[in-house]
Chain A
Amino acid sequence: MTIRKAVKSDIDSLTDMFSKMYILNSEFDPLLQVPDDIKQRVRDSVEDALNDEKSLIYIYEDGKPYAAIKIKLDEREFYAPSKVARIEEFYVHPAKRREGLGGYFLSFIEEELKKMGVTLIIARFPSKNLIAVSFYSKSGFREIHNEFAKSVD
C-alpha cells in the first residue's frame, strides 16, 4: 500500500478512474451529461496534467491502482488566502470503498499541500451526490459557493 505521484504509465488507469467519475456525475443532473468521447478527453487532460507543474496527480496503489486524485494549483484574485488547490478529479475504486481510504488519501494530500505552502483546498462535485457531500463534510470541508445552472435551450 502506497501513495505516490502518477507517472506516464498510469495514464490508462487514471483515464479509467476519472472517466468513471464523470460518468457517475452525469447521473445526478441532465446538465452534467458527458460527451461520447469522454474517455479520450479525460486521457488528454491527464496527459496535459502530467506535463503541467500546476497540476498534481497522486495514486493509491495496493498491487494495482485503487484510487487517484488530480489537483490543480490555482490563485484566487479577490480572496485570501489566494493560493488554493482545486480537487478536479477524485476516484476510489468500489472494491476499496468504505475502508476509510478516501479520508486517508485526503489527509495525505493535505500534508503535501501544506509543505508547498497551500492552505486552502477546494472540491467541486454535483450537489446531489450525497455521498460526496457527506464525505467532504466529514473531512472538514464546508460549502462556500453555490453553483446554480439554468438551461436556456
Chain B
Amino acid sequence: MDPIEFSKIYEGKIQVFPKVPIKSYDDFAVIYTPGIAKVAEAVHENRDLSFSLTSRWNTIAIITNGSRVLGLGNIGPEAAMPVMEGKALLFKYLGGVDAIPIPIRADNAEDFKRVAMAIEPALGGINLEDTESPLCFEVLEELRKSLEIPVWHDDQLGTASAILAGLINGFKIAGKSTNSAKVVLFGAGAANIAAANLLEIYGFNKSKIIMIDSKGPLYPDREDIDKLMFTNKWKYNLAVSTNKDDSRTINDAFNGADAVIAASTPGPHTIKKEWIAKMADKPIVFALANPIPEIMPDEAYDNGAYIVATGRSDFPNQVNNSLVFPGVFRGVLDSRAKYISYTMAIAASQALAAYAERHGLDRQYIIPRMDEWSMFYEVAAAVADRARVEGYARNPLKYEEYLELARKRIIKTKKNIEVVTSDDN
C-alpha cells in the first residue's frame, strides 16, 4: 500500500491507551482526584516510587532534532515525526516498551540537554535518534553524564552492538581470533565510530583497526587531523589511536584485512571488488548501507568473501539495530537501570551471538533474524543482568527472573496490540 495513503487511513501509528479498566463511576475517584493525591504524596516522599506507582518504569522518549533522518539528511523535527512514530511502534511491538516520539527544535548539545533534563522525571530512559554526527556524540556524552536514566543512541550503539554480534560469530565460523584481527571500518560516521570503541572494549586490537572516511584511511599524519581535533574529537581520537601500520591508501588498508565493516554510502560499487580480493583468507564483509549495500553479496563472494552480511532483510545475515534496541530497552527498564554502559551493549551483542549459535551457525546465519522473537527476551535479560552486575540496576533480580519478566511483558504487549488493532475495533 502507498505509505501516504496508509498514514492517512490510520492518522499516525501510535496512541496513548489506558490499561486500567473503568467499571464504574467510583473508579474515577481512585484513578484521578481525590484518591490519586495519596499516590502523588507517596511519590513526593520517595521519588523512586515514580517507577513503581506510575508508568514511568516502561516509558521512554525518542528524541531527535531531525538532522539526519534515514538517508534523507536534515529534514527537521516535523518531518522526522513519521519515522519516530514507526520506531515507537517497533519499540512497543518488539520490546513492549512505551516509547513517546519527541522530535525537538534543537541545534546544539545544550538545547538537547535542557530538554532531556526537563522531561527526565517522566521517563525510564531516552533513545536518541537520527541526529547528525558529530553533534550526536556530544549529545550522548552530555546526557549520559547528566541524567539518572539510561540514554542510548541507536544509530551509534544499536548498530555497533549488532555489528559486534555478527563479528563474534563470523570470527568463530571463519576460525579467526579477535585480538589479532585486522579490521577495516569503512565509513566514519556514528555507527562505525561507536563500533570501533565497542570492538576495542570487547577485545579487538585497536591498533589493527583502520577507519576509512571519504578522504581515505585515517592516520595521525593526515593533513586534516589537526582540524579534526576541534571539529570531531571522537573521530580524531580514533585517527590517532588506530592504524598503527600507517596505511595511507584504501588498498593498503584492505590488504590482509580479516574483516571489513562498511557503514557508509549506498553501493553497489562503493566498495570495489579488487579491495575484497586483497583481504586475508576467509574474509568477512559487512556491507550495511541501505537500500543498496556498498558491495552486493554476490560480487563480494565472487571475490573471495567468506561471510557476507548486509543491512537488508531480503539477504541472509541482516545486521540491523532492530535486533538490539527492543531487548536493550526491555532490559534497562526491567532492571530500572540508571545507565547503559558499553559493556551492557556488549552483553546484548553476546546474547545475540549466543542465540544464533544455539540455533545452528553457518555462513548464511551468523546473527538471529528479526522474527526470532525469543531473542529479544534473551537480549533483555542479558542487559538487565549486566546492569545488576555493574551496579546500575535499581531493581536487581536474577537472570532467569529478568528473562521471564521480559518474555511475559513482550508477549502481553503483542496480545494487547492484536486486540486493539483488530478489524473489529
Contacts and interface: CB of A to CB of B under 8 A. Distances in A.
Interface in B217-231: 220-221, 223, 225-227, 229-230
B406 interface: no
A27 interface: yes
A93 B239 CA distance: 12
B240 interface: yes
Nearest to A95: B220
Contacts of B220: 93-95
A76 B239 CA distance: 42
A95 B240 contact: yes
A9 to B, nearest CB: 19
Interface residues of B, number: 11
A1 interface: no
A32 interface: no
B240 A97 contact: yes
A21 B227 CA distance: 10
A24 interface: yes
A23 B240 contact: no
Contact of B229 (A21, A23, A94): A94
A27 B227 CA distance: 7
Nearest to B240: A94
Contacts, number: 28
Interface in A112-153: 129-131
A43 interface: no
A86 interface: no
A18 to B, nearest CB: 12
Contacts of A23: 223, 226-227
A24 B226 contact: yes
Contacts of B221: 93-94
A24 B227 contact: yes
B230 A94 contact: no
B374 to A, nearest CB: 45
A47 to B, nearest CB: 23
B298 to A, nearest CB: 40
A83 interface: no
Nearest to A91: B226
Contacts of A94: 220-221, 225-226, 229, 236, 239-240
A84 B224 CA distance: 33
A126 to B, nearest CB: 11
B52 to A, nearest CB: 44
A65 B379 CA distance: 49
A60 to B, nearest CB: 15
A27 B221 CA distance: 18
Contacts of A129: 230
Contacts of A130: 230
Contacts of A95: 220, 240
A143 to B, nearest CB: 20
Contacts of A93: 220-221
Contacts of B223: 20, 23
Quick one: which of A24, A27, A94, A129 has the most chain B CB within 10 A?
A: A94
Contacts of B239: 94
Interface string B230-256: 100000100110000000000000000
A21 B230 CA distance: 13
Contacts of B229: 94, 97, 131
Quick one: which of B221, B223, B226, B227 has the most chain A CB within 10 A?
A: B226
17 contacts: A20-B223, A23-B223, A23-B226, A24-B227, A27-B227, A93-B220, A94-B220, A94-B221, A94-B229, A94-B239, A94-B240, A95-B220, A95-B240, A97-B240, A129-B230, A131-B229, A131-B230
Interface of A: 20-21, 23-24, 27, 93-95, 97, 129-131
**CB-CB nearest 10 A-B residue pairs:** A95-B220, A24-B226, A94-B220, A94-B240, A94-B225, A27-B227, A95-B240, A20-B226, A24-B227, A93-B220
